[in-house]
Structure 1
Amino acid sequence: MHANLTTPSDTVDGTLDDAAIARLFTEARTHAAFDPRPLPVELLRRLYALASLGPTSMNCQPARFVFVASEAGRERLLPHVAAGNQPKVRSAPVTVIVARDTRFYEHMPTLWHVPDAGANFERQPAHAQATAQRNATLTGAYLLMAARALGLACGPMSGFDAEGVNRSFFPDGRWEADFLINLGYPAGPAQRPRAPRLGFQQACVLA
């Protein structure tokens, strides 16, 4: 049974229950092999709806997603994927190209309450580029966590030729590929044990 992630558990501090935390973090793993069941469009729409709720700078929402689910789309993608990652893409019913819209600021009049926010980004291309890169990657992470919340297995990947993907999928140059996420239902447990993580003392500073 899926954990209820719509409301916090009945704890004093409002934290999610252990089952929800396990699904999202402690028991979640990167998967390389997937069940062949297709993912319905309704599920992908729900997945995006959840991911889009995550915060971005000035609500700029520069992330764009290509859900590669057809055999034709997969064959377009595979030549640009590192050889070691190609079996993972072939196994996954959907591979998501997480991309950024380089002209995301054209939507700012709808997304943000400051009238000239979009024009300010347009006048500062370096700032616009950095904002798009940072926030698109962030939203890709939201998508991954939303997928886990919906019971899907994920396999994020950076082993691919981004320029090749851009040429094949985004020839007009407006969108740019960031990273890939394989999605599906798991075909058994993850293949490798969890790799070590740095401890608090190694990775964190209290200032």
Structure 2
Amino acid sequence: MTKQFHDNVLPSDALDQLFFEGRTYNGWLDKPVSDEQMHAIWDLVKMGPTSANMQPSRIVWCKSDDAKRRLAELASEGNRAKILSAPVTAIIGYDIDFHEELPWLFPHTDAKSWFDGDEAGRKVGAFRNSSLQGGYFILAARALGLDTGPMSGFDNDAVDKEFFTDDPRVKSNFICSVGYGDPDSIFDRSPRPDFDRFNVIV
């Protein structure tokens, strides 16, 4: 059906993998995620558009048992087992001082000056664009044959102190487990609205 729009539409099995059959997993198979796979996820994430190519995301990949334990202790009770059983759980953070990197990330103009002296504006931009990058993260992992389990449900301030202590200008946005999902850990898919429910064409 999607072929009616454009010749370059992805095949239905790719759309299924990314969207229609992609799920949020609560449990994980005992199968590792390699460092190479984590690098491959980032290599896709960084290609997604952000405002002025600001790239505010800073990611900590909790892979070791110690890192997962430390993160789980700062999560809500319902999320602890998810973190401990996942091969990797990534902390998707954002750098409030992302503008310091703009001279090389966006060299076409003096974009750094747009954000100098405007910390409030930088916080808004960093949070918004790191959220975009978090969405790319989920799709990138799915595109590479992995499953994800994005979560809030943790103490942001405590996570920032524990994992971003070397750079207090970085703040956590959300966390996302990555691995091979256990099919028994998911619920029936929740309803999704039709176009007319939440959309207006003007």
TM over 0.5: yes
- Within a 5 Å distance, the mapping from 1:16-31 to structure 2 comes to 16-31=10-25
1:137 aligns with 2:131: yes
Aligned to 1:54: 48
Aligned to 2:8: 14
1:117 to 100, 111, 121: 111
Q: Calculate the TM-score normalised by the size of structure 2.
A: 0.93
Q: Any conservation in 1 of the 2:60–2:92 contact (CA below 8 Å)?
A: yes
CA shift for structure 1 position 119: 2.6
Q: Which moved more, 1:115-124 or 1:79-88?
A: 115-124
Rounded to whole Å, the distance in 1 between the matches of 2:108 and 2:183 is: 49
1:39 to 12, 30, 33: 33
1:49-93, Cα deviation, whole Å (9 max, x unpaired): 001100000100001111100011112111110000111111100
CA shift for structure 1 position 118: 1.1
Partner of 1:95, secondary structure, is strand
Aligned to 2:201: 206
Q: Any conservation in 2 of the 1:30–1:190 contact (CA below 8 Å)?
A: no
Which residues of structure 1 form unaligned runs of 5+? Answer: 1-8
2:87 to 75, 78, 93: 93
1:11-65, Cα deviation, whole Å (9 max, x unpaired): 9531000100000011111101111222111110011000110000010000111
Q: Any conservation in 2 of the 1:29–1:190 contact (CA below 8 Å)?
A: no
Rounded to whole Å, the distance in 2 between the matches of 1:183 and 1:87 is: 14
1:194 aligns with 2:189: yes
Q: Calculate the TM-score normalised by the size of structure 1.
A: 0.91
1:151 aligns with 2:137: no
% identity of equivalent residues = 37
Rounded to whole Å, the distance in 1 between the matches of 2:116 and 2:189 is: 43
Structure 1 segments, 4+ long, off by >3 Å, are: none
Rounded to whole Å, the distance in 2 between the matches of 1:47 and 1:189 is: 25
Paired letter, 2:30:
P
Partner of 1:181, secondary structure, is strand
CA shift for structure 1 position 114: 4.0
Rounded to whole Å, the distance in 2 between the matches of 1:203 and 1:188 is: 30
Q: How many residues are matched?
A: 198
Q: Any conservation in 2 of the 1:68–1:97 contact (CA below 8 Å)?
A: yes
Q: Any conservation in 2 of the 1:24–1:149 contact (CA below 8 Å)?
A: yes
Partner of 2:90, secondary structure, is strand
Q: C-alpha root-mean-square deviation of aligned residues, in Å?
A: 1.5
1:129-172, Cα deviation, whole Å (9 max, x unpaired): 11101000100110100000001111000111111101111124
Partner of 2:13, secondary structure, is helix
Rounded to whole Å, the distance in 2 between the matches of 1:37 and 1:106 is: 39
Rounded to whole Å, the distance in 1 between the matches of 2:75 and 2:116 is: 33
